[in-house]
Structure 1
Amino acid sequence: MSCLVGRTIVLVHGAFTDASSYAAVIPLLLREGLDVVAPAVPNRGLGGDSAYVASVVRAIPGPVVLVGHGYGGAVITVAGAEDNVTALVYLAGYALDEGECLGELQGKFPAPPLADALVRTQVSGRGPGETETEVSVDVARFPALLAAGIDSAAARVLAVSQRPLANRALTEDAPVAAWQTRPSWGLVAAQDRAIDPDLERYGYLRAGMTRYEVDSSHLVMLAHPGTVVRLIREAVEAV
């Protein structure tokens, strides 16, 4: 355990969830002697979200391993360029290339079942009188599409406490791909109905990551926390 002390794990949640999606993983990491930070990502757009996470990382003394789930994978792809980031871990996540956006990468693969369960809503924007479109998941379909294999009561709570994603996050290009210069690990959720598992495999293979698969739905951190912690530990020990 001593070799892990002094390392900070920054857990970046994805679209439609918040930091509580790591609730099963955090106690296990703390037991390992690791420092953990699980910020609340605004989910307002790739540029702003990655800048926010980068600011969190810069404030941490010492080495950081960045972990990103789903859309959080796109966020760590950009924020991972910070000097003290030593490794990246993708959990059923988008590993964008430089100059690529989520919509472009998604367009290379068939639409996942999640696509026809998305709800778009007009909400207040950043300035007076402005509006923007945000995306959420139909509450009734959320458990089956994102949280299969998770306690049904917990899945219902997640469904009604979603953190929506601003629609513009789908079209903003990644200005940098940190996996080009950082050792990276990727976990494919083989039963993912929110992101095509083949998209996950493609991104990880393109990045030359160390890759694993688990028979899981999209919220792999809640369905298989032990597997996720072992992967994070491997990344920490390797760097």
Structure 2
Amino acid sequence: MRIPAIALSFAATLVAGAATAQTAPAPQKPTIVLVHGAFADSSSWEPVIAALGNDGYRVIAAANPLRSVAGDAASISAIVRSIGGPVVLVGHSYGGPVITEAANGNANVKALVYVAGFAPDTGESSLTLSGKFPGSTLGDALTPVALADGEEDLYIRPDKFHAQFAADVPAAQAAEMAITQRPITHSALAEPSGRAAWKLLPSYVIYGSADRNIPAAVMKFMAERAHARKTVVIEGASHALMLSHPGKVVALIEDAASAK
């Protein structure tokens, strides 16, 4: 029996379509840009970097200058613009205001993840937010270093670093962090933020109930105000979540990266 030419053509189209479906490339995973905060450096993300890399993500642990919100955000924004695909911005502590500003004008940013990080509205600063509710003991743990331009750098006193910043991190590791901490200028903590990118982008929040830098009540307020898609509260966790609970931090970042 002869098969009509139109039937043969239709069958060939189906086969070709099936082959195309089978060979279609998988959707591109976002690049994860990690932005550390004050009194830390990019190495604070090490366990998070390793886990994300094992799961197939490209990761950039950006160096945050810690000089000013606008200037630091411009530095991170330049990195975002250099990436030819979707990006998830992740900010710890003061890194939160930086990613909030850096996302503006970059259409490839698909989500913001705040890891014990400030999520300021326009005109708010890290200092005003940290004092919105009681509980922060950071001020009493800081020591200033005067700079030649009249500015001052702020450090956490080494003898207070473990309890203040990383109470649930092993003492030896916290001691090393105290030695390698990077200072932030007082003016950066006091600088008002610009446009709040979390009003336009999905946000995700994770924080510890025992954070002594940013009180849990402040984190809860910011998460609710931003209508965060997911908020994770880790009971008893310190400010250094990315070191003490990297698995939970990674899980939230991957939730943000895979969300539709």
Q: TM tier, shorter chain?
A: over 0.9
1:157 Cα shift? 0.6
Give the distance between the partners of 1:93 and 1:30, measured in 2 at CA: 23
1:6 Cα shift? 3.3
Matched residue type, 1:32: D
Give the distance between the partners of 2:150 and 2:79, measured in 1 at CA: 28
Structure 1, unaligned runs of 5 or more: 125-129
2:129 corresponds in structure 1 to 105
Give the distance between the partners of 1:155 and 1:89, measured in 2 at CA: 24
1:13 corresponds in structure 2 to 36
Match of 1:85 among 109, 125, 141: 109
- 3-state DSSP of counterpart to 1:41: coil
Structure exhibiting the larger radius of gyration computed from Cα positions: 2
C-alpha deviations, 1:151-172, integer Å up to 9, x for none?
2211111001110001101221
- Contact (CA 8 Å) 1:188, 1:197: kept in 2 or not? yes
2:240 is the alignment partner of 1:219: yes
Match of 1:96 among 94, 112, 120: 120
Q: In angstroms, what is the RMSD of aligned CA positions? A: 1.4
1:207 corresponds in structure 2 to 226
- 3-state DSSP of counterpart to 2:147: strand
C-alpha deviations, 1:119-150, integer Å up to 9, x for none?
111023xxxxx231111101111011111121
Structure 2, unaligned runs of 5 or more: 1-24
Give the distance between the partners of 2:115 and 2:123, measured in 1 at CA: 21
Give the distance between the partners of 1:146 and 1:5, measured in 2 at CA: 36
1:5 Cα shift? 4.7
Give the distance between the partners of 1:111 and 1:212, measured in 2 at CA: 19
- Following TM superposition, the consecutive aligned residue runs of length 4 or more in structure 1 with deviations greater than 3 angstroms are 2-6
- Contact (CA 8 Å) 1:4, 1:33: kept in 2 or not? no
Give the length in aligned residue pairs.
233
- Contact (CA 8 Å) 1:88, 1:184: kept in 2 or not? yes
- 3-state DSSP of counterpart to 2:255: helix
C-alpha deviations, 1:161-190, integer Å up to 9, x for none?
110001101221111111000001000211
1:3 Cα shift? 6.0
Percent identity between matched residues is 43
C-alpha deviations, 1:70-97, integer Å up to 9, x for none?
1111111111222110000000110100
Give the distance between the partners of 2:238 and 2:163, measured in 1 at CA: 9
1:127 corresponds in structure 2 to none
Matched residue type, 1:122: A
1:103 Cα shift? 2.1
Pairing 1:93-172 to 2, within 5 Å after superposition: 93-110=117-134, 112-124=136-148, 130-172=149-191
2:55 is the alignment partner of 1:32: yes
- 3-state DSSP of counterpart to 1:148: coil
Q: Decide whether aligned partners of structure 1 residues 42 and 190 sit closer, same or farther in structure 2, where only a CA change above 3 A counts.
A: same
- Choose between structure 1 and 2: higher helix proportion: 2
Relative contact order (C-alpha < 8 Å, sep 6+): which is higher?
1
Match of 2:76 among 45, 53, 56: 53
Give the distance between the partners of 1:64 and 1:170, measured in 2 at CA: 26
Give the distance between the partners of 2:169 and 2:96, measured in 1 at CA: 22
C-alpha deviations, 1:26-64, integer Å up to 9, x for none?
000000100000011100011111111111111111000
Give the distance between the partners of 1:74 and 1:4, measured in 2 at CA: 30
